Amino acid sequence: MEGLVPALLYERADGEVRCNLCERRCRVPEGERGFCGVRTNLGGRLYTASYTRISAVEMRPVEIKPFYHFHPASQALTFSSWGCNLSCMWCQNWHLSRSRPPERSEPLPPEEMLRLALRLGAQGTCVSFNEPTLLFEYCLELFPLARGRGLYNSFVSNGYMTEEALRMLVDAGLDAINIDIKGDDEVYRRYCGGARAGVVWRNISLARRLGVHLEVVNLVVTGVNDAEEDLRYVVENHLRHAGEEVPLHFTRYHPAHRFSAPPTPVERLEFARELARREGVLYPYIGNVPGHRYESTYCHACGRLLIRRRGYRVLEYRISGDRRCPRCGAEVPLTGRFHG
Ligand code: SF4
């Protein structure tokens, strides 16, 4: 029982419990854990092993998430736990996502996390590295405290939580979410342990409707989701569910974990970005290619350089106080202020 605390969002069913935190909706038998390895059934009640169990905590620029249109040049106290509700073969953080929380670890309660964020001068919090939804109960306590002290709260997520979970996180103070779409159902089935792409698009759409700042990432993996039809699928659904103003990041894959295909050719990312721009996405980006011109922001109307970045650093910021292009006056969709 050590380190386990009662979980939220589950129901009892014939001696098992059904977890309703993510759309796997695992039926967990007595004494066992769900797919994520974090939530366990003891005596017909669901417990989480990740509450206050923090695997990493560090200050990071918000651009690294990536968030390019949210509090530019701010620093977020970024932290993680263990486990994941997907099992992507190329996971860069597999040492966290494929591990269970340790039996014993020094707890870091939400109040202490907030104190640390304030002491280090963070402008916000960010739950990242492994799937942040697995720190659900922790975030429900931390987010209102952080918001009360003027900090924003953000998630870097696979977007596979239930609708109820996302609504509760937003009610608690989630300000921004970055959702990674892997591809269509076939990509999730073959490479990520199975999941429904439609759920991820549903949550992208819901986040937008709930007024959360949203950015979408598509990791373009060599030989997996890099064909024109795969990229077109992402662009078309992005326009349908997120909308033209939401940034879409095509990021470069590098071999990791159980996947050894070569890194994504930069030309393929450029092709994806060009396709998105042509189809009507106003702010398509290229990520994980430091120094590339399309990690910077250009006015969608006149093409003027607005934010120059390099390797997650903001080098120039040319947007006027009322969030307009200084040359043509077009409105630039940004949330929060510049922190440079
Ligand atoms: S969070 Fe998702 S993967 Fe984990 S037990 Fe609940 S339904 Fe299963």
Delimiting residues of CATH 3.20.20.70 domain(s) in the chain = 56-297
**Of the residues 24, 134, 139, which should be mutated to test ligand 1's pocket, given the most ligand atoms within 8 Å of the CB?**
24
**Tokens coding 92:** 């860069």
Q: How far is the CA of 78 from the centre of ligand 1 (A)?
A: 23
Q: Whose CA is nearest to atom 2 of ligand 1?
A: 22
Lowest mean pLDDT among 3-17, 94-108, 228-242, 300-314: 94-108
Neighbours of 190 (CB within 10 A): 12
pLDDT of amino acid 104:
80
Neighbours of 49 (CB within 10 A): 24
**Mean per-residue pLDDT of the chain:** 96
The pLDDT tens digits for 18-47 are: 999 999 999 999 999 999 999 999 999 999
**Of the residues 85, 86, 136, 161, which should be mutated to test ligand 1's pocket, given the most ligand atoms within 8 Å of the CB?**
85
The answer to whether the CB of 193 falls within 8 A of the CB of 87 is yes
Residue 58's DSSP bridge partners are 78
The answer to whether the CB of 174 falls within 8 A of the CB of 155 is yes
Higher pLDDT residue, 99 or 229?
229
Tell me, using a 6 A CB cutoff, whether residue 207 lines ligand 1.
no
Mean pLDDT (whole number) for 257-267:
96
Biggest alpha carbon–alpha carbon distance for the chain: 65
pLDDT of amino acid 14:
80
pLDDT of amino acid 1:
63
- Residue 196 DSSP code: -
**Of the residues 8, 39, 160, 161, which should be mutated to test ligand 1's pocket, given the most ligand atoms within 8 Å of the CB?**
39
The pLDDT tens digits for 199-222 are: 999 999 999 999 999 999 999 999
Give the right CATH number for 56-297 from 3.20.20.70, 3.40.50.1580, 3.90.226.10, 3.20.20.80: 3.20.20.70
pLDDT of amino acid 217:
98
Neighbours of 13 (CB within 10 A): 11
The pLDDT tens digits for 147-171 are: 999 999 999 999 999 999 999 999 9
Please determine, for residue 118, whether its predicted confidence score (pLDDT) is greater than 80: yes
Tell me, using a 6 A CB cutoff, whether residue 24 lines ligand 1.
yes
Q: Report the nearest atom of ligand 1 relative to the CA of 9.
A: 6
On the 0-12 / 13-18 / 19+ scale of CB atoms within 10 A, 259 is middle
Please determine, for residue 106, whether its predicted confidence score (pLDDT) is greater than 90: no
pLDDT of amino acid 321:
87
Q: Is 309 helix (H, G, I), strand (E, B) or coil?
A: strand
User: Could you tell me the pTM of the whole model?
Assistant: 0.97
Tell me, using a 6 A CB cutoff, whether residue 199 lines ligand 1.
no
Q: Is 39 helix (H, G, I), strand (E, B) or coil?
A: strand
Q: How far is the CA of 112 from the centre of ligand 1 (A)?
A: 27
Q: Report the nearest atom of ligand 1 relative to the CA of 134.
A: 1
pLDDT range class, residue 293, cuts 50, 70, 90: very high
